Amino acid sequence: MFEITKGLISHDECKNRIVDQRAGAIVYFDGRVRNHNEGQQVTSLEYQSYEAMAVREGHKIVLEALDRFDIHQAFCVHREGHLQIEDTAVWVGVSSSHRFEAFRACEYIIDEVKARVPMWKKEHYVDRPAIWVECHRCSDKAHDHNHSAQGCSHE
Amino acid sequence: MKVKMMYFASIRESVGISQEVLETKSTNADQLLHEIVEKYNLALSLEHIKIAINEEYVAFNTLLNEGDTVVLIPPVAGG
């Protein structure tokens, strides 16, 4: 239900993971590498993961979505390695009988992935040295502030 | 006791290695964090660092056990 891959993410292959005859709605999110961030021109992104834990945490998130929302299937895959502009970095897909729950579940999964899955990205720029992005706002949209990742900030 | 430390992203670049087996006198996660910061003279915003032991986020007062795999988690940035 959650994978890390070093290869290209194929939309068609991902979509096959969530087909379900009960589903009247398929909602997916295709997160791409864009050519700018916070006023800087970005040339590429380098993703690194703590793979064993990332897969474990990602599975938990998808299971939470299946438990919280009235959906049939859910799948998420995140790329690792050096990505170029327009590459798909993360793909989330959900199938459900009706669209409302699929939209909500899809948003839940991507928000939680960004807040909890141990992955990091190094941004490469046109005219300045590359840096590791420290996204202090990434957990702002996390949905449940009682889950484990939220409960362990440094005191 | 001995623990396995794994380093990622900005922390990996600062310490210069991806993992090591560390002989430590620290008894909990918080002490170990401070030990690593001192050992490698790391300039970290500690309020933004989380700790994982054996692939699970843990509280800072979690006790260490022989053979644990410990990872300092800088702010994540997936997606």
Q: What is the DSSP letter of B22?
A: E
Written as six digits, the tokens of B67 are: 């053979």
In this structure, the strands spanning B69-73 and B56-58 are unpaired
In a domain, B79, yes or no: no
Burial (CB count <10 Å: 0-12, 13-18, 19+), residue B73: buried
Q: What is the pLDDT of residue A62?
A: 98
The gap between the terminal CA atoms of chain A, to the nearest Å, is: 34
- Does the pLDDT of residue B64 top 50, yes or no? yes
In chain A, domain spans = 2-132
In a domain, B30, yes or no: yes
Is A113 an interface residue toward B (CB < 8 Å)?
Answer: yes
Question: What ipTM was reported for this prediction?
Answer: 0.94
Angle at Cα B61 formed by Cα B57 and Cα B64, nearest 5°?
75
- Does the pLDDT of residue A151 top 60, yes or no? no
A 28-47 residues inside an 8 A Cβ radius of B? 31, 47
- Distance from the B1 Cα atom to the nearest Cα atom in chain A, whole angstroms: 23
Q: What is the mean pLDDT of residues A98-109?
A: 98
- Disruptive mutation site among A48, A53, A150 for chain B (greatest number of B CBs within 10 Å): A53
Q: What is the pLDDT of residue A134?
A: 84
pLDDT tens, position by position, B8-22: 999 999 999 999 999
- Does the pLDDT of residue A147 top 90, yes or no? no
Paired residues of A91 in beta bridges: A30, A77
Q: What is the pLDDT of residue A145?
A: 46
In a domain, B78, yes or no: no
**Total domain count, chain B:** 1
Q: What is the mean pLDDT of residues A35-46?
A: 95
Query: Residue B45 — very low, low, confident or very high, per pLDDT cuts 50/70/90?
Result: confident
- pTM attached to this predicted model: 0.91
Q: What is the pLDDT of residue A144?
A: 62
CATH assignment of the domain containing B42:
3.10.20.30
Q: What is the mean pLDDT of residues A89-115?
A: 98
Question: Taking CA atoms, what residue in A is nearest to B7?
Answer: A50
Q: Can you give A62-127 as a three-state secondary structure string?
A: HHHHHHHCCCCEEEEEEECEEEECCCEEEEEEEEECCHHHHHHHHHHHHHHHHHHCCEEEEEEECC
Q: What is the mean pLDDT of residues A16-36?
A: 97
Picking from B30, B64, B32, B62, the residue whose alpha carbon sits closest to that of residue B47 is B30
- Answer whether A154 sits within 8 Å of B71, measured CB to CB: no
Written as six digits, the tokens of A46 are: 């380098």
Query: Residue A110 — very low, low, confident or very high, per pLDDT cuts 50/70/90?
Result: very high
Number of A/B CB contacts below 8 angstroms equals 99
In one letter, which amino acid is A33?
V
**Helices A99-116/A51-68 angle, 10° precision:** 150
Query: Residue A142 — very low, low, confident or very high, per pLDDT cuts 50/70/90?
Result: confident
Distance CA B54, CA B77 (A): 21
Question: Taking CA atoms, what residue in A is nearest to B71?
Answer: A50
Please say whether the dihedral angle defined by the alpha carbons of residues A59, B78, A84 and A91, taken in this order, is positive or negative: positive
* Top CATH class, A2-132: alpha beta
